[in-house]
Amino acid sequence: MTGSSRIKQAFLLAVIFLLLVCLPYLYAAAAGGVDFVFGGFLLNPIDGNSYLAKMYQGWRGEWQFQLPYTAEQGEGAYLFIFYLFLGHVARNLGLSLPVTFHLARLLAAGLLLISLFRFFEDSLGQSSKLAFLLAIFGSGLGWLATLFGLFTADFWVAEAYPFLSAYANPHFPLALALMLAALTRISNRECRSGWFQMALYAISGFILALILPFGIVLVVLLLLVLWIWRAADLIGQGERVSQIIFAPEAVRRGLALAAGGAPVLLYYLWAVNSNSQLAAWNAQNLTPSPPWWDVLLAFSPALPVALLGAWWAWRASDASLRVLLVWLILGLVMLALPIGLQRRFILGYFIPLAGLAAYAVSQIKSSQRSWRKLFSAGLILLSIPTNFVILLTALFGIQTHDAQIYLERAEVQAFDWIRAETEQDALILAAPDTGLLIPAYTGRRVIYGHPFETVDAEQRKGLVESVFQGKKDWTQLEIAQPIDYVFYGPRESELGSLSTPAEWSIAWETEGLTIYQVLP
List pLDDT tens digits, range 101-155: 999 999 999 999 999 999 999 999 888 999 999 999 999 999 999 999 999 999 9
Q: Report the C-alpha gap between 15 and 110 in whole angstroms.
A: 9
Helix axes 195-211, 249-274, angle to 10 degrees: 30
Tell me which amino acid residue 465 is.
E
Q: Against a cut of 0.85, is the pTM above it?
A: yes
Residue 1 reports pLDDT greater than 90: no
Q: Model confidence at 2, in pLDDT bands (50, 70, 90)?
A: low
Contacts of 233 (CB under 8 A, 6+ apart): none
Q: Model confidence at 192, in pLDDT bands (50, 70, 90)?
A: low
Counting residues of the chain whose pLDDT is more than 70, the rounded percentage is 96
- Is residue 342 a contact partner of residue 122, using CB atoms and an 8 Å limit? no
Q: CA distances (Å), 169 to each of 57, 107, 175, 383, in order?
A: 18, 11, 11, 22
Q: Report the C-alpha gap between 53 and 450 in whole angstroms.
A: 11
Across 64-88, average pLDDT: 94
By mean pLDDT, which of 226-230, 304-308, 348-352 is the weakest?
Answer: 226-230
Q: Report the C-alpha gap between 341 and 287 in whole angstroms.
A: 5
Q: Model confidence at 444, in pLDDT bands (50, 70, 90)?
A: very high
DSSP, collapsed to helix, strand or coil, labels residue 266 as helix
Mean pLDDT: which of 249-258, 397-406, 464-473 is highest? 397-406
Q: For 378-388, how does the pLDDT look when each residue is reduced to its tens digit (9 = 90+)? A: 999 999 999 99
